[in-house]
Amino acid sequence: MSDDLDEAKVAVTPELHDGSAYLYDYFKHLTSLSILTLGGVLAISTGTRADGAEKEPMIAVIVLVGFAALMAFSGTSEVVRQKATGKAQGKWLTFYRTGAPIALSLGVGAFLYLFLKGLPA
């Protein structure tokens, strides 16, 4: 009886700790978060546009957030490719996993800086 339980635990354990499933969900979450952030940045920037506002810094923010969304979506695609073909983890997956949140953080930080700088004193 004890042997049956041990075999059942071994059979279930790989499915519970499948790193690809966590990574896929992480990339899906990052993709959604980046797209929502991009929409918010565009909505706020067009709704509160000041006469003397520079376009270049806002374009940089949009590029950073858009790049984060692209990397997160590419990471999702890479995980699916890996599972579908059975091939080993690609070299770009680590880049996507670390680059997407960095680009999103930099974009949000730059937007907050520009937004707070533009507020009247």
Please give the chain's pLDDT, 121 residues, in tens.
555 555 555 555 555 557 888 999 999 999 999 999 999 999 988 866 555 567 889 999 999 999 999 999 999 999 999 989 888 777 899 999 999 999 999 999 999 999 888 878 6
**Per-residue model confidence as pLDDT tens digits over 40-71:** 999 988 866 555 567 889 999 999 999 999 99
Where do the structural domains in the chain lie, given as residue ranges?
Answer: 19-118
Q: DSSP letters along 28-41, please?
A: HHHHHHHHHHHHHH
b/e 45-57 (16+ beta carbons within 10 angstroms → b): beeeeeeeeeeee
Total Cβ atoms within 10 A of residue 67: 18
| Structure-block tokens of residue 96 | 């996507």
> Residue 96: exposed, middle, or buried by beta-carbon count in 10 A (0-12, 13-18, 19+)?
buried
Q: At what angle do helices 55-85 and 92-118 cross, to 10 degrees?
A: 160
